[in-house]
Amino acid sequence: MKYANVVLIVIAAVASVLFSVNVQAQQGTSFPFSGIDGAHQICGPKISPDALRGKVVFVEYWGTNCGPCRQMMPHLQEMYSQLGKSGLFCVIGNHVQQYSPETDKFLKEKGITFPVYQHLSLPVNQGFSGIPHAFLFDVTGKVVAEGHPKDLINKVPPLLQEAMVMKKTGVLNAFEDSTIPGGLRHPFADSDLGKFQKAALAMFMPGKPWLPNYKKLQKAAQSDENLEAQNALSTLDSYLHDEIVRLLALAKTDPAKAYVSIDRLNRSIKGMNQERALADVVKTLSADKNVKDLSAILINIADFESNAKRMNPTAVKNKAESLFNSLKTYCSRKDLSKLLKKEAIDAARELKQKYGSRSAIK
């Protein structure tokens, strides 16, 4: 496969190219809700880690046999019902006492509709002495407050207002790039840069040119006293190294998915030293019409899935069927490689599992 061969060559050379830009270990922290997929959920809608990115999240540790906990739950439900409509806020209950049928009974009686988990493991301070105890996370996934839930409720509206401003200005798009084929992430989406975090999110938006701000960051990091800039530069360089290696490997198995993210990343790093690491594979993938056509279909699928919750069931079914047929037509091409056909069939199978289809692809 022509692009697979190019990828093998580029992967062998990428380490030396990236070494020249002084890649260091990433200093950020992991996203606190990354492990939620495997948690034991006992109530509410199923949510993924990506669904919580870019949201203000209120987590309460509670128990069925805790009187004050039971008293707080209706207040949390009210807050969830009112503020959750914004699409930028979520409440999560973390039941930390022994589970029993009484837990389910209580949740149903109180009409609790937000997600509740049994012993959800989160990377937060576990040194609190009793329950109820709550943690409030901002849109970057950082704990900004903790304590008794009644003391934290009033802190939610200002954070939510800030999130709305960030969404309006496009900064929250930093957390949505994981939805595009290839899964490109914002370099600072999972980091903790203190007061510099939100500025870093705005300065390095995927798809926008990074070179001017990268030079400013390099200059600021030269000061021994500017630890935030040094941390940010280290995080960014580490991110670029890891993403380039990941996307080059992805191009070997899913070239169309890789093309979408590589193209966007390449637009960001234009003029930077790291651009050389992607030059050969970008040239090869962009010259293949079948790669570009499948990537366009995958982008349409990603756009559809991000909007599906706001569509009526009939519209969802019709759009899914239309996209499935696009993949079916694509797979009928005579000049299609086995690799691209497999990628298209995998996308069609996933689409069919989620939304159904009357058709089949052979």
> CA dist 49 to 55, 226, 346, Å?
11, 32, 23
- Find the mean pLDDT for residues 246-273: 92
Q: Which domains does the chain have, with CATH numbers?
A: 2-28+191-287 (no CATH), 36-158 (3.40.30.10), 290-355 (no CATH)
- Find the mean pLDDT for residues 210-228: 90
Residue bearing the bigger pLDDT, 49 or 80: 80
Annotate 153-206 with DSSP letters as a single string. Answer: GGGHHHHHHHHHHHHHTTGGGGGTGGGSTT----TTTT---GGGHHHHHHHT-T
- Find the mean pLDDT for residues 76-85: 95
Enumerate the β-bridge partners of residue 147. 134
What are 293-337's pLDDT values in tens digits? 999 999 999 888 877 877 888 999 999 999 999 999 999 999 999
Q: Confidence band (pLDDT; 50, 70, 90) for 270?
A: very high
Spell out the alpha helix ranges (H) of the chain.
2-19, 49-52, 67-83, 101-109, 149-152, 156-168, 197-203, 211-221, 227-253, 255-268, 279-286, 289-307, 313-331, 338-355
What are 30-50's pLDDT values in tens digits? 678 888 888 899 999 988 887
pLDDT for the residue numbered 187: 84
This model's pTM is above 0.85: no
Residue linked to tokens 């190219």: 17
